[in-house]
Amino acid sequence: MRTHGWGGNPPLDDDEAVARILVATRGVIDEKGAATNLADVARILGVTRQTVYRYFPSTGELLAATAMDAVGGLLDRIAAKLRNATRPDEAVVHGIVAVMDELAADDYVGIVLRGDQLSLGIVGEFTSAVGQEFARSVMARMAVDWDEWGLEPVLDDIAEIILRTMQSLVVGDSGRDADDLAAFLDRWVGAAIREMCGARIPTARR
């Protein structure tokens, strides 16, 4: 690792370099939002663009890494919104609404899904292994006893339902408010979850 630049205080190793790049990126996002680019981050750090390129070959990859670094906080906020949802159909429906709401407001995770940063590559990654891990993390924070509802064997299917629904919502904004979106999702996503539960859960919402 090269040690010149960095405002006279070079990182000790690549891990520290990446951490400092991500901190600088968050600072630039706070200032410029979706207009953030590698040159701005390099300037904040006192390094050349080539130095940042060594770790992140494009602005898209840099923003994606910044988003992943901030996912934990987003998941905690979603969990707080879902703490009283114990029925699987309601938890999944309101979980999707909460995720979409947080993504729309979040400066670090949501930025890759807005404006010029949104691409077919990013949309396609929704159902990747990373996307599956995200969906399972959301589900793990729900106050639902999946095993009690007989859903433990189909958790991967539920994760895919969540991801594919989010994928379609990101690509084509329906313009619905939160209540309308929840009602829409309940008719389709909620119904699918209730079908998976069989006789364990009533068709009508309580």
Token code pair at residue 206: 């309580």
Would you state the pLDDT for residue 124? 52
Is 121's pLDDT higher than 60? no
HSE-up (13 A, CA, CB side) for residue 170: 27
What gap in Å lies between CA 50 and CA 54, rounded to an integer? 6
Q: What is the pLDDT of residues 44-69, one digit of tens each?
A: 999 999 999 999 998 888 988 888 88
Longest dimension (CA), the chain: 66
Q: Which residues contact 69 (CB under 8 A, 6 or more apart)?
A: 22, 108
Cα–Cα nearest to 67, from 101, 116, 31, 34: 34
- What is the predicted pLDDT for the residue at 206? 40
Q: Where are the domains of the chain?
A: 6-57, 68-200
Name the nearest CA neighbour of 81 among 62, 69, 94, 67: 94
Specify the higher pLDDT residue, 122 or 128: 128
Q: Which position has the token pair 């006279």?
A: 8
Amino acid identity, residue 42?
Answer: A
Chain mean position to CA 100: 9
**CATH number belonging to the domain at 6-57, selected among 1.20.1270, 1.10.10, 1.10.3210, 3.40.50:** 1.10.10
93 backbone φψ class: left, alpha, beta (φ>0; ψ -120 to 50): alpha
Which pTM was predicted? 0.77
